[in-house]
Amino acid sequence: MTADMDPGVRIELTVNGRARSLEVRPNHTLLDVLRDDLGLTGTKECCLVGECGACTVLVDGVSVDSCLVLAAEADGSAVLTIEGLASGDRLDRLQEAFLETGAAQCGFCIPGQLMAAHALLTANPHPARVDVEEGLAGNLCRCGGYEQIIEAVLAAADRREVAT
Amino acid sequence: MSGFGVGASPARVGGRARVTGRQAYVADIRLEDALHVKLVTVDCARARIVAVDASAALAVPGVRLVLSAADLPDPMPRFGPQFQDRPVLAVGETRYHGEPVAAVAAETRDAAEEGARLVRVEYDELPAVSTIAAALAPDAPLVQDPSIRPGDPLAATNVLREHRYGWGDVDGATADVVVEGTYAFPMVTQFAIEPHGFLAAPDGDGIAVWSSIQHPNWLQRVIAGLLALPLSKVRVYAPDPGGGFGGKQHAKYEPLVAFIALWAGRPARLVLSLEETFQAVRRGAAEIRVRSGFRRDGTLVFRDVEANYLIGAYADIADRTVAKGTYTSCGPYRTPAARIVARSVLSNTTPSTAFRGFGNPQQIWAVESNMDEAAHALGIDPVDLRLRNLARPGEAFIPGDTPADGDWAKTVERAAELIGWGTPPAAGRGRGIAVGLKSGPTTGLSYSTVRLLADGSVVVHAGTSDMGQGARTIFAQIAAQELGAPLDWVTVVMGDTAVVPYDQQTSASRSSVLMGNAVLGACRDIQARLRAMAARLEMVTESDVVVDRGEVRIGDGVLPIRDVLVRGLGRLGGELIGVGEMRKEADPDHPLGGTAAFFEFNCTAVEVEVDRATGDVVVARHVTVSDVGTALNPTQVRGQDEGAAIMGLGHTLMEHYILDDGGRIRNLGAIDYRIPTSMDLPLRLESDVIEHGDGPGPYGSKGMSEGALLCVAPAVAAAVRNATGVVIRDLPLTPERVWRALHAARDP
């Protein structure tokens, strides 16, 4: 039997606050479903082995490589992707800080960096530099823009959380 | 400087899309009804293809076609920027591990992948060469069939080209001290986080191609040639690449995807896996022997270089990287006599191509390591040795080329000052310093059109690819400054050959200089029209009108450009259109076909700590100083400079392909091939610039995006020597290699 003939699996997800009911292939990852089924292409695909972090999203508040999570495993969870980080037109403090420090160069790793940073600041609102280095260790940036990325995360941490 | 003009650092144009996930990279583009393509390869470096059986693959539901050489025109269409040697699909024989034999196109990605697994390729493995020694052996199997290199006297060898440069009398030169060594640089890969992606679709009576490509106009020419279409019928969309680093300069699988789209009569898409990108692009490996002769006082009297670069199975732009990268083997130094022999050696490996530094990092690893060894041999401080020999501003240091276009001693002195050269490093640490010089573009042609719309807002058309260097922001800053528009009233349109005028390429750190000047020229063209307009409105002669930095001045009166524009355009409105053109002409008598438009010059100084128990090298301090002429956007300059430095640490400390005896890459992918992470940063990284406004670009700028990568490796190796006393001439400086060197030194 080919993958295309496998019966689908019905899952319920809350993605960026919106309830989604989907039939997914059992072999498809959360990354596949976000990008291909839901059209949320802000989450990026690169290594597919959980090393580059380009596909980082939050599942029930935990930062995960969405390429390593089967969509079926995510059934019932709340997923936050880069598309859900801003509040409407208002950017998150991390997004503002990334713009200010010039952290986004080619930009391809940036959604993953932002989601990892968001998870980091949620767990540790006042990280030291070394905490940021460790917190983002799973997110590769080949532009080598780590200094400006770390600066942005530290700057965002210094900012009061904007009440929503 | 605050604000958004030149010299300020406004937020990146396109930055908001990048931080919100809305930036559409090539793989994010969905074409209705597109077929998904997967490549079929065989698991060895070189094979004779006996048969391709697609029946099982075609039985997979959703698989629409399996394309192999037999389905393509005969003779097989070939392409390449220097030599038309790369086939659209392997014909008769594969020449490197990962070369596609066939391609499966299916309704879904799953079906394409399953189909590709089921294509049965019958093949005989053939002897392959994957090292310089093996490729140059007298009885080496030939990588390329001599028939595709007609009339080439080297066609019956694995040497694609040999380049010889030189001046003065090396053999007759008298030196007090001669320092000699052979230095090795491994295969490394660009590893853009965005894997290469290609889409194609029939488009009326032509074709549209989408690619994360650095040179859309060059790709247009390649596709038009292969499909026998006029340029106007090939529309290339080039969405911003998610990192290029040279690996996305030239066509790779766009021709294949275009053939599939035409064959199927519907769109087709191929997005490579990261592993496939390792098999598609890499930097040339090199073994470079350097002999340098000095007088006792440190004056360089000759340099003798023999460089073998291991390129891949097809030339791509690799031979040009060899030619250009070794041409500057005397670095920025006054060298009375030089002899440089450089070979591009074909092998059954991934075709090497451009990679940030373009052939120079290999050469600079060798010659700057040699300089450090010379400093030790002469008993002269490494900074003093370099300052003694550096070309002075305006000095013709390479006969027949552009004279030294910067006060390079200032760069070296600044780096030395920042690292604290001359003061002892902390206990257990060592310091090293090196310089890097790279020729900028030798030819160039960029056009831009700029439109000043009726409300004073601006549209800039520029064919540069913004792959992270921030070209879009620079062009917007130039237009905003020259035409008096706020930055967020400027839109920069790129990446569509049907809309945007010709640009030769995005490479060699050229875009701020060449396209920047084209944009500036187009703005000045508009300013001339505004002058005429103001003269007519105010009933003065044009020579009484000055348009500068967004203002129109007549005598003591100052008018905003927009006022003149609105009145001048009148009731019908409309717009003013300016055209800019920037050429860097070729010089047929020059060994490279043209002189350097500018030189990139960098000095890197580092302080390292070496763990003697493990061989681990920690870069405690990393200072990079680049001569940038003028920093048009200091935040972006810093980002490019630091990024180049970090990338340089990758090939210095950790990156290399590991091949097995059969020429297969054993460390394909992100688990086994490590690039720097946030945990691998120098404990302290400092980036500084020298700005003398002496570049050929707008406002005195120079290209700068490669400089800080050039000499990282020799600076770190010199620091390792300073800390431990061991000399290492092979990269990367992995813990194992350093540990072995430390032990060899202790237990000889």
The residue in chain B having the minimum alpha-carbon distance to the alpha carbon of residue A113 is B19
Token pair belonging to A24? 């997914």
Contact residues, chain A, for B108 at CB < 8 Å: 3-4
| B679:A133 CB<8 A | yes
Contact residues, chain A, for B467 at CB < 8 Å: 106
* Residue B49 parent element (H or E): strand B47-53
Distance CA A85, CA A71 (A): 21
Contact residues, chain B, for A107 at CB < 8 Å: 14-15, 17-19, 23, 240, 242, 468
Mean pLDDT of B365-394: 98
Q: What pLDDT band is residue B3 in, cutting at 50, 70 and 90?
A: confident
Distance CA A14, CA A37 (A): 14
Q: Residues B20-51, buried b or exposed e (16+ Cβ, 10 A)?
A: bbebebbbbbebeebbbbbbbbbebbbbebee
ipTM attached to this prediction: 0.97
Q: Which of A46, A52, A110 sits opposite B18 (nearest CB)?
A: A110
Is the predicted pLDDT of residue B225 greater than 50, yes or no?
Answer: yes
DSSP conformation class of B618 = E
Token pair belonging to B682? 């120098």
Contact residues, chain B, for A54 at CB < 8 Å: 193
Q: What is the pLDDT of residue B1?
A: 38
Of the candidates B437, B471, B428, B414, which has an alpha carbon nearest to the alpha carbon of residue B686? B414
Catalytic residue among B276, B607, B655, B706: B706
Non-local (6+) Cβ contacts of A26 within 8 A are: A6, A7, A8, A9, A70, A72
A and B: number of Cβ contacts within 8 A: 185
Preceding omega of B75 cis (within 30 degrees of 0): yes
Q: Which of B12, B23, B467 sits opposite A102 (nearest CB)?
A: B12
* Smallest Cα distance from B129 to chain A, Å: 29
| B195:A146 CB<8 A | no
Of the candidates B697, B691, B327, which has an alpha carbon nearest to the alpha carbon of residue B509? B697
A118-152, pLDDT tens digit by residue? 999 999 999 999 999 999 999 999 999 999 999 99
Residue B449 β-bridge partners? B461, B579
The SS3 call for residue B434 is strand
Would you tell me how many other CB atoms lie within 10 Å of the CB of residue B153? 7
Q: Pairing mode, if any, of strands B120-125 and B47-53?
A: antiparallel
Q: Percent of chain B having pLDDT more than 90?
A: 98
Of the candidates B513, B501, B510, B512, which has an alpha carbon nearest to the alpha carbon of residue B579? B501
The residue in chain A having the minimum alpha-carbon distance to the alpha carbon of residue B684 is A147
| B21:A27 CB<8 A | no
Q: What pLDDT band is residue A22 in, cutting at 50, 70 and 90?
A: very high
B154-168, pLDDT tens digit by residue? 999 999 999 999 999
Contact residues, chain A, for B281 at CB < 8 Å: none
Contact residues, chain B, for A110 at CB < 8 Å: 18-19
B299 touching A, CB under 8 A?
A: no
SS3 labels along B266-300: CCEEEECCHHHHHCCCEECEEEEEEEEEECCCCCE
B489-523, pLDDT tens digit by residue? 999 999 999 999 999 999 999 999 999 999 999 99
B554-564, pLDDT tens digit by residue? 999 999 999 99
Q: What is the pLDDT of residue B550?
A: 86
Q: What pLDDT band is residue B746 in, cutting at 50, 70 and 90?
A: confident
The residue of A143, A148, A150 whose CB has the most chain B CBs within 10 angstroms, and thus the best one to mutate to test that interface, is A143
Mean pLDDT of A4-12: 81
B239 contacts B495 by C-beta, under 8 angstroms: yes
Is the predicted pLDDT of residue B11 greater than 60, yes or no?
Answer: yes
Instruction: Please give the backbone phi and psi of residue A9, each rounded to the nearest 5 degrees, phi first.
Output: -120, 130
Contact residues, chain A, for B469 at CB < 8 Å: 105
Q: Which of B21, B60, B242 sits opposite A42 (nearest CB)?
A: B21
Instruction: Please give the backbone phi and psi of residue B668, each rounded to the nearest 5 degrees, phi first.
Output: -70, 125
Q: How many residues belong to chain B?
A: 748
* pTM assigned to the model: 0.97
Of the candidates B361, B253, B350, which has an alpha carbon nearest to the alpha carbon of residue B311? B350
The residue in chain B having the minimum alpha-carbon distance to the alpha carbon of residue A32 is B109
Please report where in the chains the tokens 């530290």 appear, as a residue. A154
| B17:A49 CB<8 A | no
Mean pLDDT of B73-94: 97
B236 contacts B217 by C-beta, under 8 angstroms: yes
B635 touching A, CB under 8 A?
A: yes
Would you tell me how many other CB atoms lie within 10 Å of the CB of residue B137? 12
B341 touching A, CB under 8 A?
A: no
* Smallest Cα distance from A40 to chain B, Å: 8
* Smallest Cα distance from A64 to chain B, Å: 17
B470 touching A, CB under 8 A?
A: yes
Q: Percent of chain B having pLDDT more than 70?
A: 100
The residue of A108, A132, A134, A150 whose CB has the most chain B CBs within 10 angstroms, and thus the best one to mutate to test that interface, is A108
Q: What pLDDT band is residue A4 in, cutting at 50, 70 and 90?
A: low
Is the predicted pLDDT of residue A160 greater than 70, yes or no?
Answer: no
Q: Which of A5, A47, A143 sits opposite B670 (nearest CB)?
A: A47
Is the predicted pLDDT of residue A164 greater than 50, yes or no?
Answer: no
Distance CA B323, CA B83 (A): 14
| A40:B21 CB<8 A | yes
Please report where in the chains the tokens 């040179």 appear, as a residue. B215
Q: What is the pLDDT of residue B4?
A: 77
Q: What is the pLDDT of residue A161?
A: 59
B706 is catalytic: yes
* Smallest Cα distance from A42 to chain B, Å: 4
B241 touching A, CB under 8 A?
A: yes
Contact residues, chain A, for B19 at CB < 8 Å: 91, 95, 98-99, 104, 107, 110, 114
Is the predicted pLDDT of residue B748 greater than 70, yes or no?
Answer: no
Is the predicted pLDDT of residue A162 greater than 90, yes or no?
Answer: no
The SS3 call for residue B625 is strand
B324-357, pLDDT tens digit by residue? 999 999 999 999 999 999 999 999 999 999 999 9
* Smallest Cα distance from A76 to chain B, Å: 24
Contact residues, chain B, for A99 at CB < 8 Å: 11-12, 15-16, 19
Residue B578 β-bridge partners? B450
Distances (CA, A) of B144 to B81, B187, B256, B563: 17, 20, 21, 65
Q: Which of B14, B271, B646 sits opposite A146 (nearest CB)?
A: B646
Provide the mean pLDDT of chain B.
97
* Smallest Cα distance from A145 to chain B, Å: 5
DSSP conformation class of B379 = T
B642 contacts B708 by C-beta, under 8 angstroms: yes
Q: How many CA atoms lie within 13 A of B101 on its CB side?
A: 29
B155 contacts B167 by C-beta, under 8 angstroms: no
Q: What is the pLDDT of residue A163?
A: 42
When computed from its CA atoms, the radius of gyration of chain B, rounded to whole angstroms, is 27
B296 touching A, CB under 8 A?
A: no
Distance CA B535, CA B555 (A): 12
Q: What is the pLDDT of residue B456?
A: 96
Contact residues, chain A, for B20 at CB < 8 Å: 42, 82-83, 85-86, 91, 95
| A104:B240 CB<8 A | no
The SS3 call for residue B244 is coil
